[in-house]
Structures are given as structure tokens and as C-alpha cells.
A and B are shown apart, each in its own frame.
Chain A
Amino acid sequence: MKYLLILPLCLLAPPLAAQSTTPADLIANYAAEAGVAASAERGQALFTASHTGGKPDTPSCTTCHGADPRAGGLARTGKPIEPLAPSANPERLTDLKFVEKWFGRNCNSVLGRDCTSAEKADVIAWLASL
């Protein structure tokens, strides 16, 4: 059931062109935009911290994704979420549009604002390092 979401998106992504990407490219591009080198430590801290600026039901990334990105998470609706770490789920971080969409939504839910390019580079660097 959970593949219903990920598989079609992954299958559709390559023909849409120019969106197919890799974790390394994502880190490099976001870091270049930010003008700072990515830091896996900062990424882990951001991911696991509790924040207060966002929506009350989602104080942290770990609320839904769980504390270990190599394991799956669980949406508040009871729907399983596939692991975020590319080592556990090779389809992750390969579709720029998908990455942008979920950073957009989830940073707003958790932080109450968009994530900066530096923050995105940090989080992806941590996920890719696992």
C-alpha cells in the first residue's frame, strides 16, 4: 500500500526530466545556494530537536519520521512513512520536485517557516551519511 505513493512518483519522475537528482547533487546545490558547507551534525540537531514555531501537533521532524531515519515513520493518520535515509530507501532524495514539495510543507508544519538552503543541505548531508 505504501508503495502506491512512492513508486508512481519515482516512475513518473525521470520522464518529467531535469528533476532526477542524487543526494550528493542536492547537498552540493543547496550548499552552493547557501554559500556554506553542509554539516551532518547541524542537520541531525535540526532534525531531532523540538521546535515551537510550527503547528502544535508536529513539534519535530521525528514526530512523524521517527528518531531513526533508517527506520520508517508513521504519519499522524496512521499511515506508514518510508525511511528517509538513502541507505535504507534508495528512492529517497532522487527527485528535486518531491524534495522541494516536502521540505516546503514540513518545514512550515514543524518550524512555521521555510527552511533555508543551508538547513536543507545540513539535513540531507546527515540523512546521506547514515
Chain B
Amino acid sequence: MTDATTTEICDRPERVRVWDIWVRLFHWLLVTCIAIAAVTGFVLDASWIALHIVAGLSVVALVVARVIWGFLGPTHARFTDFLRRPAVVFFHLTGKESGRYLGHNPAGGVMMLGLIGIVLTLGVTGLAGLGGALRTGPLLSLPYPVGAAGLEIHEALAVFLLAMIFAHIAAAILESRYSRENLVLSMLTGTKESRPGDHTGHPERARPLLALMLILGLAATAILLLPNGRQTPIGVPVAELDASFVDECSACHLAYHPSLLTGAEWRALMAGLEDHYGEDASLDAETTARITDWLVAHDAATAQTRPARMFAGTLGTSAVSMTESRAWNHLHQDVREEIFLRAPVYSKSNCSACHSDAETGWFSPFHIQIPKEPSK
């Protein structure tokens, strides 16, 4: 084998098409979309969520299209070309079986299958998190715990995907050195040099028209069948705010939504207005009672939103204020400390400086806008 390639290298070797244009487009679009999803998910703050979702859904759409192409594409695009029995994979990995594969080698085939599986699971868990925890998207009425679990799995799988991508790149580089060719370049040009003894695979004709029809059919089904996210989910924060609550509380600060704290926390807070975070905010007994009742009636137990589940119950145990809680600080770790101190935010308690929907209790990542440096 090695001898054969050495002699071949002297003359200009014949190049054959291995990766068709759709496989290559898929590959590099996938790289782009996963890169965007990874950067917006791991590096940038929550205000990038819309781009993250667009990139993630694009990844899912690309992979679904690639699966169809795996049944209807040309020779090396097909699953039958690169998915092999475990024994073959084992022999390939242990070096008991050698030979150059023009398409994916048996280990690469396993990687393909793994990437497809993990990317689709990332899509499902992401939508579950979007629905259960953020109460929007096609799964908007999932119970909060399901959404929260979805997000946990989503994060763990994303880390795992990065590891797989690293392994994939390492394998491509190692394999390139081993077989003395540029596999990355081949994914750009689509061609590889033909060598004697190559596993060339069973030739298959592509069925592009059928594939296109299937992909369009699936896209139409998805658009028609999936809820469009405009209906009202269950477990949302009360929308109509009590007038005296708004008048009295927002005299000094934004009217913190009742769904942010438990009923017990509201009672304790309203019973201590004489020393309310370092100031006297006392009200007459009647107003205090009326506002307290309203707060308790719409407390965290009535909402399945993320702030309701993350902040409620933290007062008096681990923190005096919500901004001192572990959950709050974890969520705001990407925001530089001085942003909270300078104009126009001034204080960590001034949620609405960045969360335009703060008074609704939603705190949706779609409504975060961190103010720019004041121009002055």
C-alpha cells in the first residue's frame, strides 16, 4: 500500500470527485452555524439569544437535510458508504484492517452518526428549555422543571459536542499526515487523488429532485404543524398590576413583579417597610395590607418563569436582596461591575435599565439591552 502511493506521487495522480457540492456546502455551513451557536452560547451574554436560536435551528435544518441526502445523495454522501458494522470499525481503529477510504473511513462514519445524533438532541433540548424555562417557542407550555432540565442537558451536550469537534479536527489532521494528503482541502475542492487499492465504495446515483421535494415537504410540515409561539403559555406572570402597588413601590424603584418572590418573602418584606433596604418606606396599615394581599396572591408559585423559580426563596436564607443571591450573580457574571454603577443604571436593583420587560416579571433574554457608555 505504502509503496504503491509512493510511486504514484511521482506522476500527476488522477483526482476523483468524492464530496459533492451539497455535502461540502452542508459541511461548511454547519461549521459556520455551530461556531455562531457556540460563541453566542458560551462566550457572549444572554442578549445574543436570538442569534443563538437562529444558528441552532439552522444547524438542525442542515442536519435533517443531510440525513435525507444520506439516503439519496451520490456515493460518498450515503450512509451505506460510511456506516459499517462495529467489527469493521474496531478493525479499522486497531489497525488490523488498513486501506484508504475515499469517503469517510469507518471511524469517521461513527463520528458522523454521533455528530448527527448530538446535534439533533441539542435542538430538542434547546427548544425544551426555550419552552419550559422561557415560555416561548413551539414547546411554550412545557412544565418549568422539564425546561430547566432541558437547558442543563443542552449545556452538557454542547460541551460534549465541542470535544467531538476537537476530536474530528484532530482526526482529520492526523489522517491527512498519515495518508499524505490534505483532507481539509478535499472538503473544499471536493476531490481527492485516486490511489490503487482505495476503498471506492459502491457507486450510487444521486436523486436530487426527490431529496429537494422531501426537504421542502419537511420544511412545510414544520411550519404548518409546529405552534407559531404566539399563543399564551400557561404559568405566566400576572399581567395586570395593582394600581396602588405600582404607585407606592415605583415611587422609589421599579415595581418588582410579585412573581419574583414567595408569598412568605413578600409578607416579611412588607412587614419591615420601616427599614426597607436602608430607608424608611413605611405605608399606612390599610395600604400595606392591600398591597401585601395582592403580592401574595400573585407570588412566585403562580408563575413558571425562570426568575420566579430562580430568585424566589433566596431572600432571608442566602441573601438579603435578590442581587446578592447566587442565582442572580451567576446570571449576571458576564456583565462588568462598573456598568451597574455608572449612568444610566446606577444600581443593581435597577433591573429595567437593561431588561425592558422587567416590570412584567418575564425578564426575557429577548428584551435585554445593556446600555452603551454614556456619550456625555
Contact of B347 among A8, A58, A76, A106 (CB under 8 A): A76
**Interface of chain A residues 54 through 98 with chain B (CB within 8 A):** 55-58, 74-79
Assess whether B318 is interfacial by the CB under 8 Å rule: no
Assess whether B3 is interfacial by the CB under 8 Å rule: no
Interface string of A97-112 (1 = CB under 8 A from B): 0000000111011000
Q: Say how far A74's CB is from chain B's closest CB, in angstroms.
A: 7
Q: Can you report 12 A-B residue pairs in the complex whose CB atoms are below 8 A from each other?
A: A4-B246, A55-B275, A77-B253, A77-B349, A78-B349, A78-B350, A78-B353, A79-B250, A79-B254, A106-B280, A108-B280, A109-B278
Measured CB to CB, the nearest residue on chain B to A102 is: B251
- Inside 8 A of A16's CB, which chain B residues have their CB? none
Assess whether A5 is interfacial by the CB under 8 Å rule: yes
Assess whether B345 is interfacial by the CB under 8 Å rule: yes
- Inside 8 A of B345's CB, which chain A residues have their CB? 78
Assess whether A37 is interfacial by the CB under 8 Å rule: no
Measured CB to CB, the nearest residue on chain B to A107 is: B280
Residues of chain A having any CB pair with chain B under 8 Å: 4-5, 8-9, 55-58, 74-79, 104-106, 108-109
Which residue, of B251, B252, B346, B349, has the highest number of chain A Cβ atoms within 10 A?
Answer: B251
**Interface of chain B residues 159 through 196 with chain A (CB within 8 A):** none
- Inside 8 A of B252's CB, which chain A residues have their CB? 75, 77, 79
Contacts A8-B247, A9-B247; A57 near B253 (Cβ below 8 A): no
Complex CA distance for A76 and B323, rounded to whole angstroms = 14
Q: Say how far A72's CB is from chain B's closest CB, in angstroms.
A: 13
How many contacts A-B (CB < 8 Å)?
A: 56
Contact A105–B280 (Cβ < 8 Å) = yes
How big is the B interface, by class? 20 to 34
Complex CA distance for A109 and B344, rounded to whole angstroms = 25
Assess whether B240 is interfacial by the CB under 8 Å rule: no
**Considering the complex of A and B, which 8 residue pairs feature the smallest CB-CB distances, nearest first?**
A78-B346, A78-B350, A77-B253, A57-B278, A108-B280, A78-B347, A105-B280, A109-B280
Complex CA distance for A108 and B251, rounded to whole angstroms = 17
Q: Say how far B321's CB is from chain A's closest CB, in angstroms.
A: 11
Q: Say how far A95's CB is from chain B's closest CB, in angstroms.
A: 13
Assess whether B337 is interfacial by the CB under 8 Å rule: no
Complex CA distance for A52 and B178, rounded to whole angstroms = 79
Measured CB to CB, the nearest residue on chain B to A57 is: B278
- Inside 8 A of B279's CB, which chain A residues have their CB? 55, 57-58, 76, 105, 109
Contact A108–B253 (Cβ < 8 Å) = no
Assess whether B152 is interfacial by the CB under 8 Å rule: no
Contacts A74-B346, A76-B347; A4 near B250 (Cβ below 8 A): yes
Complex CA distance for A108 and B247, rounded to whole angstroms = 21
Contacts A4-B246, A75-B252, A79-B254; A55 near B349 (Cβ below 8 A): no
Q: Say how far A119's CB is from chain B's closest CB, in angstroms.
A: 16
Contact B250–A5 (Cβ < 8 Å) = yes
Known: A78-B345, A78-B349. 10 other contacts (CB 8 A): A5-B251, A55-B275, A56-B278, A57-B278, A77-B252, A77-B254, A78-B253, A78-B346, A78-B347, A79-B250
- Inside 8 A of A106's CB, which chain B residues have their CB? 280
Assess whether B5 is interfacial by the CB under 8 Å rule: no
Q: Say how far B277's CB is from chain A's closest CB, in angstroms.
A: 8
Contact of B281 among A8, A74, A105 (CB under 8 A): A105
Contacts A4-B246, A5-B247, A8-B247; A79 near B350 (Cβ below 8 A): yes
Measured CB to CB, the nearest residue on chain B to A76 is: B347
Complex CA distance for A55 and B281, rounded to whole angstroms = 12
Q: Say how far A4's CB is from chain B's closest CB, in angstroms.
A: 6
Measured CB to CB, the nearest residue on chain A to B243 is: A8
Contacts A8-B247, A9-B247, A108-B274; A79 near B253 (Cβ below 8 A): yes
Which residue, of B254, B279, B349, B350, has the highest number of chain A Cβ atoms within 10 A?
Answer: B279
Contact A58–B278 (Cβ < 8 Å) = yes
Interface string of B264-303 (1 = CB under 8 A from A): 0000000000110011111000000000000000000000
Contact A76–B274 (Cβ < 8 Å) = no
Measured CB to CB, the nearest residue on chain B to A2 is: B250
Q: Say how far B184's CB is from chain A's closest CB, in angstroms.
A: 52
Complex CA distance for A116 and B250, rounded to whole angstroms = 27
**Interface of chain B residues 196 through 210 with chain A (CB within 8 A):** none
Contact A104–B278 (Cβ < 8 Å) = no
Contact B347–A77 (Cβ < 8 Å) = yes
Complex CA distance for A76 and B253, rounded to whole angstroms = 9
